[in-house]
């Protein structure tokens, strides 16, 4: 099994290009199933999760080629509506294929999804949305069997602002008669991106007063060429990596508005963040103050950047409180941080972090994508050697992370 070995204590300096967004790419890959023909998707990150979605697209009959960062997806012969446990259990986003297959083939038989161990990941909001649109659901032997009846646009209110439930509902409702209103839908940048992709493919979706409105269109969707925008979670991770090492890095392609919650907090901590002509620069001398945050759906503080921020706060001046509102087990990395010398106590959904002067390298393990990368960031700042096992979690969400960090001056090796 591969490991990262980091010799910490080096400042990150220079510039680095941000990759395409994982969480935009996965629903767009599923959405290609709705339109028969050959799609070309550029700036696709080479990630474990993207390879899993490629497997799923092939299982249902699409022809997929991946060259450089361009995916070519030919959906002309899509004909299989069954997606087995072996692929769906690897990644939660696999379940997005359900909405797309109902839209394209009229039925889907998809195993209940698996994914990162960050707490219970229910799918009740997905099923509620499907049923409201007229999809019949029958669950048997661990599979969700979904059948298109007479689909009709309607008003769907989500109790939880679920990202993938909003995406799944969008995938069905673009093929539905009448108008659908999604109330309390998620509004993360990757939702806007899926809407943009669907509109370019011929759908008619707009957002008015925070309600997502899917208008009926007479034409069927068509295939297209599209470029995925940059990943604000990778950008946020590298912003924190720069700050924790007292560095100075220009993040090429990072979008200020997508990272506004993190940027505001970094600035309040005394870390310099500025717009550049091609991205965002973070600059600090390594001294910064504590801060307290609570995760929330966009535009609140992203749960996907919370673990990385706790690493930064472990070295802040003062005491911080971090509250996780979305996923019960998103503090799996905290015992590893403590192993490296962090002073953290857990109190239900919150952790209290007393900043220390230094962390020390240790043998630790990655528990999930974001918790894993949080430990990498701590290792970059720690004194001495940090050895991180189970890095396959990190590879699910970060394209060539060690290459990017090395190019900025870090001493990190994959062994
Ligand atoms: N929820 C329900 N019922 C549902 C669905 C969700 O109660 O049917 C609750 C969840 O328990 C959670 C909250 O709603 O408390 C939000 O979960 P959500 O459904 O939005 O999460 P997701 O769609 O499964 C996506 C991202 C995650 C990210 C979350 C929150 C993708 C492919 N995944 O997951 O990304 O943490 O939204 O923003 O977009 C990651 O990239 O590392 C990652 C885990």
Selection from 86-95, 120-129, 136-145, 272-281 with the highest mean pLDDT: 272-281
Scanning the structure block, which residue is given the tokens 């600059």?
Answer: 283
Cβ distance 7 to 385 under 8 Å? yes
**pLDDT score, position 92:** 87
**pLDDT score, position 286:** 87
396 lines ligand 1 (CB under 6 A): no
Atom of ligand 1 nearest to the CA of 325: 15
Q: To 5 degrees, how large is the angle CA 132–CA 219–CA 105?
A: 55
**CATH assignment, 4-19+230-414:** 3.65.10.10
Sheet holding 107-111, edge to edge: 82-83, 107-111, 143-148, 135-140
Question: What's this model's pTM, rounded to 2 decimal places?
Answer: 0.96
Atom of ligand 1 nearest to the CA of 27: 32
Domain ranges of the chain: 4-19+230-414, 22-227
Residue 114 has pLDDT above 90, yes or no: no
Task: Give the pLDDT mean for 218-233.
Answer: 94
* Residues 350-402 pLDDT 10s: 999 999 999 999 999 999 999 999 999 999 999 999 999 999 999 999 999 99
Q: Which two tokens stand for residue 219?
A: 């034409």
To the nearest whole percent, how much of the chain has pLDDT over 70? Answer: 98
124 lines ligand 1 (CB under 6 A): yes
Going by pLDDT thresholds of 50, 70 and 90, the confidence category of residue 116 is: low
What is the rounded distance in angstroms from the CA atom of residue 337 to the CA atom of residue 355? 12
22-227 fold: UDP-n-acetylglucosamine1-carboxyvinyl-transferase; Chain (3.65.10)
Task: Give the pLDDT mean for 238-260.
Answer: 98
Atom of ligand 1 nearest to the CA of 396: 42
Question: Which among 116, 132, 172, 239 is annotated as catalytic?
Answer: 116
397 lines ligand 1 (CB under 6 A): yes
Rounded to the nearest integer, the mean pLDDT of the chain is 95
123 Cα–ligand 1 center, Å: 10
163 Cα–ligand 1 center, Å: 6
What is the rounded distance in angstroms from the CA atom of residue 270 to the CA atom of residue 311? 16
330 lines ligand 1 (CB under 6 A): no
Nearest CA to ligand 1 atom 10: 121
Phi, psi of 273 (to 5 degrees): -135, 130
Going by pLDDT thresholds of 50, 70 and 90, the confidence category of residue 153 is: confident
Q: Cα 267 from chain centroid?
A: 24
* Residues 289-332 pLDDT 10s: 999 999 999 999 999 999 999 999 999 999 999 999 998 889 99
* Residues 205-222 pLDDT 10s: 999 999 999 999 887 899
Cβ distance 303 to 163 under 8 Å? no
Mutation choice for ligand 1 from 112, 164, 327, 401, CB with most ligand atoms inside 8 A: 164
**pLDDT score, position 149:** 83
- Would you call 116 a catalytic residue per the annotation? yes
* Residues 384-393 pLDDT 10s: 999 999 999 9
Task: Give the pLDDT mean for 176-193.
Answer: 96
What is the rounded distance in angstroms from the CA atom of residue 174 to the CA atom of residue 168? 10
**Is there a common fold for 4-19+230-414 and 22-227?**
yes
Quick one: DSSP state of residue 258?
Answer: G
Cβ distance 94 to 85 under 8 Å? no
Task: Give the pLDDT mean for 53-58.
Answer: 97
Cβ distance 290 to 318 under 8 Å? yes
Q: What is the DSSP string of 34-45?
A: GS-SEEEEES--
172 Cα–ligand 1 center, Å: 19
């Amino acid at each position: 099994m591969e490991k990262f070995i980091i010799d910490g204590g080096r400042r990150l300096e220079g510039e680095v290009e941000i990759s395409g967004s994982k969480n935009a790419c996965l629903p767009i890959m599923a959405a290609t199933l709705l339109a028969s023909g050959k799609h070309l998707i550029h700036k696709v990150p080479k990630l474990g999760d993207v390879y899993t979605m490629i497997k799923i697209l092939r299982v249902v009959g699409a022809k997929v080629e991946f060259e450089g960062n361009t995916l070519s997806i030919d959906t002309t012969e899509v004909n299989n509506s069954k997606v087995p446990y072996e692929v769906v259990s690897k990644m939660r986003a696999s379940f997005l294929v359900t909405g797309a297959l109902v839209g394209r083939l009229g039925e889907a038989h998809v195993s209940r999804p698996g994914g990162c161990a960050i707490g219970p990941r229910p799918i009740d909001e997905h099923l509620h949305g499907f049923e409201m649109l007229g999809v019949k659901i029958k669950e048997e032997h661990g599979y969700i069997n979904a059948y298109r009846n007479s689909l009709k646009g309607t008003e769907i209110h989500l109790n939880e602002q679920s990202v993938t439930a909003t995406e799944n509902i969008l995938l069905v409702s673009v093929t539905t008669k009448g108008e659908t209103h999604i109330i309390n839908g998620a509004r993360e940048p990757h939702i806007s991106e899926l809407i943009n992709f669907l509109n370019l493919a011929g759908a008619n979706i707009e957002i008015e007063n925070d309600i997502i409105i899917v208008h009926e269109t007479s034409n069927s969707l068509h295939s297209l060429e599209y470029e995925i925008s940059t990943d604000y979670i990778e950008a946020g991770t590298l912003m924190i990596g720069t700050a924790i090492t007292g560095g100075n890095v220009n993040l090429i392609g990072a979008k200020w508005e997508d990272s506004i919650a993190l940027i505001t907090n970094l600035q309040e901590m005394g870390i310099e963040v500025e717009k550049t002509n091609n991205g965002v620069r973070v600059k600090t001398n390594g001294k910064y103050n504590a801060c307290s945050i609570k995760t929330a759906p966009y535009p609140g503080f992203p749960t996907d950047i919370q673990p990385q921020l706790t690493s930064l706060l472990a070295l802040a001046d003062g005491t911080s409180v971090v509250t996780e509102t979305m996923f019960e087990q998103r503090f799996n990395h905290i015992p590893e941080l403590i192993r490296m010398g962090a002073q953290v106590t857990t109190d239900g959904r919150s952790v209290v972090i007393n900043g220390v002067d230094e962390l020390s390298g240790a043998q630790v393990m990655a528990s999930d994508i974001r918790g894993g990368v949080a430990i990498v960031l701590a290792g970059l700042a720690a004194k001495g050697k940090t050895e991180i096992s189970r890095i396959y979690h990190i590879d699910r969400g970060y394209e060539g992370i060690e290459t990017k960090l090395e190019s900025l001056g870090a001493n990190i090796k994959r062994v």
